[in-house]
Amino acid sequence: DRATKRIVLVGEIGGTAEEEAADFVRRRVTKPVVAYVAGRSAPPGKRMGHAGAIIQAGKGTAESKMKAFADAGVPVAQYPSEVATLLASTS
């Protein structure tokens, strides 16, 4: 949409939606994007919130999602408080 100037993607551990979003951003999005992935401190194998938020066999980790965003050229906030600063630095 033409009114949108910047995009913030907020993800969580578990599943592959964030990796898919990172690939989509890399291929199709021309607006500045910043990402944040919740759950960096979640222990593997522990359910966090709902069944989709479980980390298994190294997939769905916060680190793998953050790497996918970084590989797609998307700045990744380490903490929610960094999102605004990263947005301000995008053009």
**Residues marked as catalytic:** 50
- Cα(80)–Cα(57) distance, integer angstroms: 26
Q: Give the relative orientation of helices 62-71 and 17-28 as an angle to the nearest 10 degrees.
A: 0
Q: By the 8 A CB rule, do 38 and 12 touch?
A: yes
